[in-house]
Chains A and B, each alone.
Chain A
Amino acid sequence: QKEVEQDPGPLSVPEGAIVSLNCTYSNSAFQYFMWYRQYSRKGPELLMYTYSSGNKEDGRFTAQVDKSSKYISLFIRDSQPSDSATYLCAMRHAGGTSYGKLTFGQGTILTVHP
């Protein structure tokens, strides 16, 4: 079983829809949670970063963490064609000798059509 599971999709939605992207994880040592966005033929870029359980909002994006259920989500409101990309969840331990090593989900391919 992978430490981080993410539905690869693909997910296709109409413009303006609310998008929900999810990851589950099995390692309770993960304390920091990230969402990366990767456009075609580009490297991933950090979109959201959270530590505690609860919600964090940034414009149209909301990251949600539920540590008790080992479940994280990214919501995109009023989705736009420019949101079409692969979304990767990533997580890491709080410290120790892991040197900031990230463990990634498989990535979800999202297409927002006009």
Chain B
Amino acid sequence: DVKVTQSSRYLVKRTGEKVFLECVQDMDHENMFWYRQDPGLGLRLIYFSYDVKMKEKGDIPEGYSVSREKKERFSLILESASTNQTSMYLCASSFGPWGEQYFGPGTRLTVT
């Protein structure tokens, strides 16, 4: 069965902290994605990766970076968290760029 897991369901951080969100998939998928979901805005793509150590900016990469050292793991990093980064963060993976994207359960991040 397809599985995408995210390290935390809920996270509370302070402004200025460095935040790591981890995502792991067990399907040997090449592509992995990080989205944020906000009311009235839908899902917006932050970064994606099509191979180990490869990454591409999405629509809203400012304030974020990513790391993909292993095929199954894709990390989203907030170098210095700000209150406008309070959001639901969703990770997804797909087999190849055109395959169905499978989503994790999400991490609700609150920055105070």
Total A-B Cβ pairs within 8 A? 54
Q: Pick the contact of A6 from B42, B94, B96 — CB < 8 Å? A: B42
- Interface hits, B66-112 → A, CB 8 Å: 90, 92, 94, 96-106
- Interface hits, B30-63 → A, CB 8 Å: 31, 39-45, 48, 50, 56, 58
Q: How large is the interface on B (under 10, 10 to 19, 20 to 34, 35 or more residues)?
A: 20 to 34
* Size of A's binding interface in residues, CB under 8 A: 21
**Across the interface, do A44 and B105 meet the contact criterion of CB distance under 8 Å?**
no
Enumerate 27 A-B pairs (CB-CB under 8 Å) in ascending A order. A4-B42, A8-B39, A41-B9, A41-B106, A42-B106, A43-B90, A43-B104, A44-B43, A44-B103, A45-B103, A46-B100, A46-B101, A88-B42, A88-B43, A99-B31, A99-B50, A99-B56, A100-B31, A100-B96, A100-B97, A100-B98, A100-B99, A101-B48, A102-B45, A104-B42, A104-B44, A105-B42
